[in-house]
Amino acid sequence: MLKKRTTTNKKPLSPAQIRAAEARYLMNTYRRPTVVFTRGRGCRLYDSGGREYLDFLGGIAVNALGHAHPRLVRVIRREAGRAIHVSNLFHNPYQAPLARKLAEWSGLDRVFFTNSGTEAMDGALKLARAYANAKPQNGGNAKKTRILALENSFHGRTIGALSITYPLKYREPFAPLMPGVEFVRLNDVADLEAKFDDTVCALVVETIQGEGGIFPVSEAFWQHARALATQHDAALIADEIQCGLGRAGRYFAYQKFGAKAKPDIVTVAKPLAGGLPLGAIIANEQFASAFVPGMHGTTFGGGPLICATAMEFLTVVDEANLLANIRERSAELRSGLEKLSKRFDFIRDVRGEGLILGVDLAIEGAPIVSQALRNGLVMNCTHEHILRLLPPFIIRGKDVAEFLAKFEKTLKQRLKVGAATRTKAATSAQPMVLAASR
């Protein structure tokens, strides 16, 4: 006789209970505000109290179609009832079509699927080393193992990706890291030429530096990088984990440099599966052929549910003509930000492409991010003073207008706080001046 199934109707944890449980059980790796987000729809997030927020961070460039996009939800539900995981020891219906689509978008040839962006970066470094090690070594001279990366770069948190990440605050706690890495000054052609020789197996470039503060690579630097990589038979690796797959208003940010200046290897991740974890290494045939069965692998990368969802994301970008929308919304957003920069003298610069934009401040950015959150606006700050904007590809003109209004309100409030602080400081200092004068 079957036992009757019992159900429990436990009340969900309150925000305070959630924060207390996190403080007790999670490793201490993030500083989070007190808000608890429970759901989203389109460009909007909603907290545990039902309050609405305009999301201009997009899960750090992940939620490119916003939240709960109906086409992605439909695919996830369908595939969850079929097969979530079958392992890479067997074929599944979605890896090859997705790989073909990425090859067509990128102009390259072959794909390896990963779980994340940092895993894709590690795999790309392995691919470059495998290619170099398979070739005769410079007439018996030093091995071709050096890797060049750029100052101000950020490539991930695993030891390999961290080794090519520039800021010391990320690297020092985990030293010693992978040897053989040297950093080149961003957009400094002379420095690049001085450090590039036949011992280099790869140059890694973020086409638009994201965590580093939204700094695009210049045309001159990219073209020299391409020429030097070809000359020395090294891999030019484009890290487009944050700026790729449409965010710059093109399929890939490097495509502005022309069809003859393609990288050899590209890494992507963040928006690829619309919020589910998926990354990829995309390479031309020359470098891709360095991997043979048994040399590289992954357990979770490229499962059927996640690849089907990613295929739907790429299809929506094309069918909804989102690249054009990105370019149009970017122009509106930049125009509005540049107008604000003339009214608020602590805005030093507005830069970026498409929907990856940075607002460089002469003051600390964290208080502005906190005030914006209180005003129902989600964004973040990098390098202590650069506000980073990564809204979903689906934003409309009225969303841009709403952002600009809320952002202006936030900046005005910041000015008032700053003025009040200065007045208080001056007032408290006045008696000390009088006492000294006696």
Name the residue ranges covered by the structural domains of the chain: 17-68+322-420, 71-319
- Report how far residue 73's alpha carbon sits from residue 62's, in angstroms, rounded to the nearest whole number: 15
CATH of domain 71-319: 3.40.640.10
Residue 427 pLDDT > 50, yes or no? no
- What are the φ/ψ torsions at residue 232 (nearest 5 degrees)? -100, 10
| pLDDT tens for each residue of 234-278 | 999 999 999 999 999 999 999 999 999 999 999 999 999 999 999
pLDDT of residue 73: 98
The pLDDT of 360-371, averaged and rounded, is: 96
Nearest by Cα to 263 from 286, 242, 284, 280: 284
pLDDT for res 6: 52
Q: Are 352 and 216 spatial neighbours (Cβ–Cβ below 8 Å)?
A: yes
Phi, psi of 185 (to 5 degrees): -65, 135
pLDDT of 319-337, one tens digit each?
999 999 999 999 999 999 9
The reported pTM is: 0.91
Backbone angles phi, psi at 52, to 5 degrees: -95, 145
Q: What is the percent of the chain where pLDDT is above 90?
A: 89
CB crowding 172-182: b at 16 or more within 10 Å, else e: eeeeeeeeebe
Give the residue from 344, 342, 348, 337 showing the smallest Cα distance to 391.
Answer: 337
DSSP state of 200: E
DSSP 8-state assignment for residue 254: G
The pLDDT, as a whole number, for residue 416 is 81
Please, what is the end-to-end C-alpha distance for the chain in angstroms?
96
* Average per-residue pLDDT for the chain: 92
CATH class of 17-68+322-420: alpha beta
| Interatomic CA distance for residues 209 and 239, integer angstroms | 9
Q: Quick check: 4 pLDDT over 80?
A: no
Phi, psi of 347 (to 5 degrees): -85, 110
Q: Count the neighbouring beta carbons within 10 Å of the beta carbon of residue 143.
A: 13
287 close to 128: Cβ distance less than 8 angstroms: yes
